[in-house]
């Protein structure tokens, strides 16, 4: 695939209400390729003046109703048009994702871009499914006098803060749901991956999204903080680390903003002795090494029942050792680089700490730098204690901790024994066991004999400190709606209250 990235996709100006313009302060930052560590574009650095302008545009669009008052089928056509435009540029966008985030080109082309387009197609339809209800009225002596119903209305201006690991998909989930609800959106992408988000804004503009409805503001933490503080922002939707989620929730609470948080994970991938070995190994490899482990629901804790343990570890090491680590834009690459020097240092630090504690990797563990990029080998630790640091803290890299267990109850205790609750998986041929554990695991998504398979029709989010609220599904639309109750007196004669 030799298609190059066209100049419009390298336009680093911010998108304010659909119009491309420089940042008010004129600041620019380099956009680095994780595969080389070198800049390949420059991107505007938004400031508080830009935040104020974007909020003003979004607020005006909400108040005038240029989006929320459109017939729902017209909104549906525009959202579906965004999906079409993303698909039309799949190859170019995939190369941009690979260059900007380090996601392997094949994953960007066949997973990231198609799933982002699918999200817009789904929410184009889902926006027609969420509506109010008529309700029975219950009051002694007045049951037939009143009629009661609920109405759904968009929350207003929503600030959407997204991470770098899925630089188009995460914005698509939130932008599509927000727009399907009729709300207006300001997207603050991760500073490591701004160009992909700006390309989404261009696709929305070209599909006919009204002016002011969507802005994209590249920048660092100060931009996100300004959005969370802004008095005219009604809703915050964040995908990020648990630490960031705590900060955002605390600040948003000062003005009682609506908040939804999709945060970190330390997801257990449980393999029982009766599991199909080949399937379970494939699921484990995809669960932890897809996108170099930079996935919030990554199956970083692999729990294996003892009768299968040694064979499983041997098979994982053998197959992981064949994975190709290399330039994200090479079609043969299985694992691209980590996204940044900071992330590289984080992963290396956790591996070094594990080695210092006495653990020895049975695969990888060595830092791997090529041509200035942030490459890290697939790394596997065996015989990891459930309470150890690498089994408790989110590493966000290609590091698997394989933990032995004996009994079902032990597996459940280990699986639920962290502060996280984003996802979990069970590999077994025992249907009753699988269904029983699906009820007992403290996680928002449970896979049975599968891993990392998602559909836009099903809600996604976490338990415990993996956050609250849901992306995707009709719940994703409802996150951007308020419910209003209306009670009408149907009787011609006035009620005698006194």
Residues catalogued as catalytic: 262, 296
Bridge partners, 151 (sequence order): 484
**Gyration radius (Cα) of the chain, Å:** 24
Kind of pairing between the strands at 420-421 and 463-464: antiparallel
- Count the Cβ atoms, other than its own, within 10 Å of residue 201: 25
Kind of pairing between the strands at 19-21 and 28-32: unpaired
Residue 354 CA from chain centroid, whole number: 28
Integer Cα distance of 381 and 365 in angstroms: 9
The closest alpha carbon to 43, from 54, 29, 32, 33, belongs to 29
User: Contact, 168 vs 200, CB < 8 A?
Assistant: yes
Helices 194-206 & 72-88 angle (0-180, nearest 10): 130
Integer Cα distance of 102 and 84 in angstroms: 25
- The residue behind tokens 């049951």 is 143
Computed from CA positions of residues 150, 153, 159, 164, in that sequence, does the dihedral angle turn out positive or negative? positive
The closest alpha carbon to 374, from 324, 334, 335, 331, belongs to 335
- The residue behind tokens 């379970």 is 280
What length is written for the chain? 498
Integer Cα distance of 241 and 262 in angstroms: 8
Kind of pairing between the strands at 301-305 and 268-271: parallel
User: Contact, 18 vs 201, CB < 8 A?
Assistant: yes
Residue 8 per-residue DSSP state: G
3-state secondary structure of 28: strand
Q: Element (H or E) spanning 484, and its range?
A: strand 481-489
The three-point CA angle 164-166-172 to 5° equals 110
Bridge partners, 335 (sequence order): 325
Integer Cα distance of 203 and 84 in angstroms: 9
CA atoms within 13 A on the CB side of 280: 27
């Amino acid at each position: 695939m030799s298609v190059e990235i066209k100049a419009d996709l390298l336009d680093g100006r911010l998108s304010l209400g659909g119009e491309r313009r420089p940042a008010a302060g004129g600041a620019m930052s380099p956009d680095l390729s994780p595969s080389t560590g070198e800049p390949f574009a420059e991107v505007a650095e938004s400031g508080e003046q830009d935040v104020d302008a974007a909020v003003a545009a979004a607020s005006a669009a909400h108040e005038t109703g240029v989006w929320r008052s459109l017939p729902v089928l017209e909104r549906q056509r525009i959202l579906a048009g965004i999906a079409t435009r993303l698909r039309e540029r799949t190859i170019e966008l995939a190369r941009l994702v690979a260059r900007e985030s380090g996601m392997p080109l094949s994953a960007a082309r066949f997973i990231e871009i198609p799933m982002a387009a699918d999200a817009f197609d789904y929410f184009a339809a889902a926006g027609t499914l969420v509506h109010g209800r008529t309700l029975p009225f219950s009051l002694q002596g007045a049951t037939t006098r009143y009629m009661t119903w609920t109405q759904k209305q968009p929350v207003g201006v929503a600030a959407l803060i997204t991470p770098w690991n899925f630089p188009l998909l995460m914005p698509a989930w939130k932008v599509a749901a927000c727009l399907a609800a009729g709300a207006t959106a300001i997207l603050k992408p991760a500073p490591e991956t701004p160009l992909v988000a700006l390309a989404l804004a261009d696709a929305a503009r070209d599909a006919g999204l009204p002016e002011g409805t969507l802005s994209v503001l590249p920048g660092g933490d100060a931009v996100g903080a300004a959005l969370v503080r802004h008095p005219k922002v009604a809703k915050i939707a964040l995908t990020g680390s648990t630490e960031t989620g705590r900060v955002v929730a605390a600040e948003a609470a000062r003005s009682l903003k609506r908040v939804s948080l999709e945060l970190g994970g330390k997801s257990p991938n449980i393999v029982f002795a009766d599991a199909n070995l080949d399937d379970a190994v494939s699921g484990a490899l995809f669960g932890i090494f897809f996108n170099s482990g930079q996935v919030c629901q990554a199956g970083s804790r692999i729990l294996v029942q003892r009768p299968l343990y040694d064979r499983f570890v041997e098979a994982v090491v053998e197959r992981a050792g064949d994975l190709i680590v290399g330039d994200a834009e090479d079609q043969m690459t299985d694992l691209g680089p980590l996204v940044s020097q900071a992330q590289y240092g984080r992963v290396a630090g956790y591996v070094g700490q594990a080695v210092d504690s006495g653990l020895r990797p049975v695969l990888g563990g060595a830092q791997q730098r090529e041509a200035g990029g942030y490459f890290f080998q697939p790394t596997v630790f065996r015989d990891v204690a459930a309470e150890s640091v690498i089994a408790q803290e989110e590493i966000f890299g290609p590091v698997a901790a394989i933990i032995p267990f004996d009994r079902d109850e032990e597996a459940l205790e280990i699986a639920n024994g962290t502060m996280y609750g984003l996802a979990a998986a069970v590999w077994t041929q025992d249907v009753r066991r699988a269904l029983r554990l699906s009820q007992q695991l403290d996680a928002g998504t449970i896979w049975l004999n599968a891993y990392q398979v998602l559909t836009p029709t099903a809600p996604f989010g976490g338990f415990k400190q993996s956050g609250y609220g849901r992306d995707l599904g009709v719940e994703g639309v409802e996150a951007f709606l308020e419910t209003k109750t209306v009670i009408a007196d149907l009787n011609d004669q006035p009620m005698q209250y006194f």
